[in-house]
Amino acid sequence: MTARFRLRQAWIIARLEVRRLFLSRRGLWVYGLAMLPAALFLIHGIDVQYRLGQSRRGGIVQPAVVEALQTGMTEQQVIEMAGKPQEDRQWTRRKWEERVEGGRKISEQRVAPARRMIYFDGSRRVLLFFEDGLLRDINKYQILNFPEDREVFAAIFQYYYLRLAVFFGCLGVFLNLFRGEMMDKTLHFWLLAPARRGVLLAGKFLAGWMAATAIFAGGALLAFAAMLWPHMGAEGQAYWQGPGPMHAFRYALAAAAGCAGYGSLFLAASLWVRNPIIPAAVLLVWEAARSFLPSLLQKLTVLYYLESLCPVPAPLDPEMPALLRLLLAPAEPLDPWLASAGIVLFSAVVLRAAVAGVRRLQINYSTD
């Protein structure tokens, strides 16, 4: 048999298997893991569009006018500059004031007029607080905040998508490639087929990788599109005409690489260990501890290579203690092409070890 014939056999097995994986009732929860970020960003986008629509109905003030407002201005000066506010509310406040009279401190209560005006400059709601007719405080609330949404997406992708969704999704998909058929008592049909077991393993892995990549890379792209949707004005279009397409590609590539790296490990574990959940739990702890490991040990985790593929590093809380920020400092990321090559090489080595496992595989439905 030639190598071309074996590749053709593996491709036929993958085509047959991938249909079953997409329609498997055991894997429906994987779709939920993959689509959760897209659903959250879609809800956020709908909320942003609704608040923008509500704010635009009251008129828009030029951002330059908003920046010119300063504390200490009178109500009339603000109205002359910015026009009629969208919302205008007046009330009175009771204040205690102290004064010195005859060498004694006297506290007395007085009624002070207060007022709140709200303006909108196209992306921000501006809240102005007046007391005694003077502007005391200016609060600007950003409704459209593209840089912040991009940071949130990077954080969700790296802290949820790669660490949890792809990990557990691959656990469900790749463990079922052989274990699932043992439970269904159908694996012996594959073993009776005129194909080497290494070819069978390659075909099943290819099917699992294609299914997982379609689900998780597709879910990442849907979430990216949902994040970008509310910002398709000048700022969003400038981003899409610049680094946007490459960022989307690298997020999808990181998801696909995660499916290859974790998938090969879980497939090998299902063949070598009777209870593969135990090594999966050990791997989860090892990957979760990556940020606390020295730089050399960080490079022995799958997550290190996946994060090197991400276009934007995950943000850290600026209020985090300096010592903890030092402990969580990631190792210097690799070039994306080297990270991709590292994942491919790692997956190939693990699958080579899995070939020995599938060759010694014996069917005993009474115990498996």
pLDDT tens track for 330-347: 667 788 899 999 999 999
- Bigger pLDDT: 88 or 105? 88
Same domain, 207 and 288: yes
Same domain, 318 and 194: yes
Q: Is the pLDDT of residue 203 over 90?
A: no
* Contact call for residues 33 and 165 (beta carbons, < 8 A): yes
Same domain, 228 and 261: yes
Same domain, 328 and 232: yes
Provide the percentage of residues in the chain whose pLDDT is more than 90: 27
- Bigger pLDDT: 268 or 101? 268
Q: Is the pLDDT of residue 1 over 70?
A: no
Q: Is the pLDDT of residue 366 over 60?
A: no
The 3-class SS string of the chain reads CCHHHHHHHHHHHHHHHHHHHHHCHHHHHHHHHHHHHHHHHHHHHHHHHHHHHHHHCCCCCCHHHHHHCCCCCEHHHHHHHHCCCCEEEEEEEEEEEEEEECCEEEEEEEEEEEEEEEEECCCEEEEEEEECCEEEEEEEEECCCHHHHHHHHHHHHHHHHHHHHHHHHHHHHHHCCCHHHHHHCCHHHHHCCCCCHHHHHHHHHHHHHHHHHHHHHHHHHHHHHHHHHHHCCHHHHHHHHCCHHHHHHHHHHHHHHHHHHHHHHHHHHHHHCCCCHHHHHHHHHHHHHHHHCCHHHHCCCHHHHHHHHCCCCCCCCCCCCHHHHHHCCCCCCCCHHHHHHHHHHHHHHHHHHHHHHHHCCCCCCCCC
Nearest Cα residue to 251 out of 271, 224, 229 = 224
pLDDT at 313 (0 to 100):
81
**For residue 368, is it within any domain?**
no
Same domain, 341 and 263: yes
Same domain, 47 and 188: yes
| Full domain range(s) for residue 193 | 3-52+145-359
- Bigger pLDDT: 222 or 366? 222
**For residue 167, is it within any domain?**
yes
Q: Is the pLDDT of residue 175 over 60?
A: yes
C-alpha distances out from residue 365 to 44, 187, 232, 362, Å? 49, 10, 56, 10
**For residue 229, is it within any domain?**
yes
For residue 323, which amino acid is it?
L
Same domain, 282 and 333: yes
Same domain, 96 and 222: no
**For residue 298, is it within any domain?**
yes
pLDDT at 321 (0 to 100):
52
Give the pLDDT band (50/70/90) at residue 368: very low
**For residue 367, is it within any domain?**
no
pLDDT at 326 (0 to 100):
47
- Tell the burial category of 36 from Cβ atoms under 10 Å away from its Cβ (0-12, 13-18, 19+): middle
CA separation for the pair 94, 107 (Å, rounded): 13
**For residue 183, is it within any domain?**
yes
- 84-88: average pLDDT: 88
First to last CA, the chain: 32
Q: Is the pLDDT of residue 156 over 90?
A: yes
Output Rg (C-alpha) for the chain, integer angstroms: 30
Provide the percentage of residues in the chain whose pLDDT is more than 70: 85
Question: Which of 142, 177, 193 is where one domain is finished?
Answer: 142
The CATH number that applies at residue 125 is 3.30.1450
CA separation for the pair 252, 214 (Å, rounded): 10
**Total domains in the fold of the chain:** 2
Same domain, 296 and 344: yes
Question: Which of 114, 142, 170 is where one domain is finished?
Answer: 142
Same domain, 116 and 196: no
**For residue 316, is it within any domain?**
yes
Candidate from 5-14, 139-148, 291-300 with smallest mean pLDDT:
291-300
- 112-117: average pLDDT: 90
Question: Which of 98, 115, 142 is where one domain is finished?
Answer: 142
Candidate from 259-263, 266-270, 346-350 with smallest mean pLDDT:
266-270
Give 115's strand partners: 90, 130
pLDDT at 324 (0 to 100):
46
Same domain, 269 and 204: yes
**For residue 365, is it within any domain?**
no
Tens-place pLDDT, residues 291-328: 777 777 778 889 889 989 999 887 665 555 554 444 45
Same domain, 149 and 16: yes
